[in-house]
Amino acid sequence: MSTTSLPARKKRKLSETRASEANEDTIATLEKSLMVSAENTTSVKVELAKLVKATKKATDPEITHKGIYALYRVFVSLASSGRLVGTQKADTEEKKAIRNELLKQLKTYGEFLSSLLKDQEESLHTAALQILMSVLKHLSTAVSKSSGQPQIHMIWWRCIVQGLTVCPLSLRPSSTSSSSNRALISTVRDQFVDTWFSVHDDIRWFFLRDTGNLLKPGATVDPQVPENIFSILEKLNTMPTDASELNEFWIPAFAKAPSDLGLGAEIPDDDEEDDWRKSFDEPDGSEHDDGTGKGNRVYRLSTLQSLHSLTSHRVQFTVCWFALLPHLSGSMHLCLRVLNILHRGIMPHLTRPLRLNDWIGGCVDLGGSIGLLALNSLFTLMQEYNLDYPSFYTKLYAFLDSDVLHLKHRSRFFRLAELFLSSTHLPSTLLASFLKRLSRLSLSAPPAALVVIIPFTYNIMKRHPALMCLVHRRLSINESTGLPENHYVDPFNPDETSPLLTNALDSCLWELVSMKNHYQASVAILARIFEEQFTKPQYALEDFLDHTYGTLFTTEIKKRIKADPALAMEHIKDLFPGKQIAPREGDKETLISATDLVSEIWTFG
């Protein structure tokens, strides 16, 4: 390195430091000037543009941090004084032009803050989200006060939605965020969900409405947008279930209940059940409000009325999810995450859960872990929402193959299968097919799967006494000899796909009975239960689901030995008998020919 490069390098560092200090001083000076000369509209317009520009050009995160908070204080002051409210009729053209310029700078500031949500500096994206939500409250309060009715500042709110869903790259000059990564940062997501989305009813309602519109059919969105939206929705665990729970609002103007509806009152309707089809229709103008508020459908309500209506919240939740699900179908990972929460976190809050039938059915056809979880959701639709799905048990029967006993989702399958087959109204023919298929698969199953199959079979037979013939069936007797037939032909058809046509009820579980001679002692002991009377209570299946080779081995080595095992073996001289020769006098053993080298080596004594 040449000697001339060292001074230049120091000069660059010094110039950068001086530039940062100058930028910091500029921000402080402009903020002070703006707060003092708030009434001088021309001065405010010019100095505000300089402050926005200085903040956007700052490369040091600390300077950016001070800049966005300086702008926050300035815009809150302007909003409180009514300078950012829509144009009034009495205003002059000059005031209108200045107001438009202030709103332009406000939009630029909002876009810059939304881009900081993707900045690599955690302090910046945390502060940016707090400022975005705080400014939203002040702007919405000012707009509501000016118009005389509760409103949200839609331009600013869309900046927030844009930053949380599209995740634009950081506009800060020194930011190094990747241009290909548009995923929502987890800390930003958790902060938004825990502080606003799961707490405040108005924020949740507006977010569900706008993201549902963003994903509506025909809309072109970035592939990362649906995943960002889903990452927020899957964290929601405070969806209201009663109208009285709609009592927390971020924007104060929305907290007061509308005069024509009681606090959290439900929308009256002539029908006993909500007509879900009308919830999604656009108003055609054929219905008119008589001023009483009665007969108003959800889509006929004002924003304030909708925020205090439980049905309206459920409709927005439903529209958002049904717009989102088609965008997630292409990813196995995302489908798995949806199915994990579908039955407990989504279905109870939908206006029409049965519309999930097609999407869940497509997931069942994928098989594997996704198919198993989809079966669970499908069973929930059948059990709680009266879905008619005749081929459910045929689909479940198709999952019984050799793979299910060897894969990691084996325990999940048996948990669900025990739930699906728990009804005492299921036909014995169907249940026999499941037990016989498991019995046949047990011939090639690992010991960890066998210790689940045997208690699972015992529990079902205990619950359905008509299946006892599967373990007490006698072999056919030959009429001529009066002895059992030596050759047994199993009538079970393993290639039949329908569990009602396999002839399993005419067969027997000889495969499981043979397990009493299994090399694994725990399996052999369990299999002997079929030779005893069925007087023992049902097994707790959870005690057997998590066994592996490791747990079985640990159990064996920790088992207390009651009797010492025999260690001595019977002495064998001729392990490999060779050519026999005449015994010597006084020797009763046959000697081995010495010419056989292998036999000579393995001859003891």
pLDDT per position as a tens digit, 255-264: 988 876 544 4
Alpha helices by DSSP H, listed for 357-427, are: 357-366, 368-385, 392-398, 410-420
Is pLDDT at 430 greater than 80 in this prediction? yes
Is pLDDT at 1 greater than 60 in this prediction? no
Q: How confident is the model at residue 234 (pLDDT cuts 50, 70, 90)?
A: very high
* CA–CA distance, 602 with 605 (Å, rounded to integer): 10
Is pLDDT at 515 greater than 70 in this prediction? yes
Candidate ranges 6-10, 480-484, 509-513, 550-554; pick with highest mean pLDDT? 509-513
pLDDT for the residue numbered 354: 93
DSSP notation for 563-579: SPPP------SBSS---
User: In the chain, what percentage of residues exceed pLDDT 90?
Assistant: 40
Report the DSSP beta bridge partners of residue 581: 591
- Helix or strand (DSSP H, E) at 450: helix 447-463
Is pLDDT at 583 greater than 60 in this prediction? no
Is pLDDT at 39 greater than 70 in this prediction? no
Report which of 134, 106, 86, 135 is spatially closest to residue 44, judged by C-alpha positions: 106
* CA–CA distance, 523 with 543 (Å, rounded to integer): 14
**pLDDT tens, 127-169?**
999 999 999 999 999 999 988 889 999 999 999 999 999 999 9
pTM of the full predicted structure? 0.78
Q: How confident is the model at residue 272 (pLDDT cuts 50, 70, 90)?
A: very low
Amino acid at 152: I
Question: Roughly what angle, to the nearest 10 degrees, separates helices 154-165 and 201-214?
Answer: 70
pLDDT for the residue numbered 219: 77
Mean pLDDT, rounded, for 515-537: 86
CB contact burial 354-365 (16+ within 10 A = b; e otherwise): eebbebbeebbe
CA distances from 259 to 183, 245, 291, 312, 401 (A): 43, 18, 11, 17, 62
Of 468 and 583, which is predicted with more confidence?
Answer: 468
Alpha helices by DSSP H, listed for 58-200, are: 61-80, 93-116, 122-147, 154-165, 186-192
- Helix or strand (DSSP H, E) at 591: strand 591-592
* CA–CA distance, 118 with 169 (Å, rounded to integer): 6
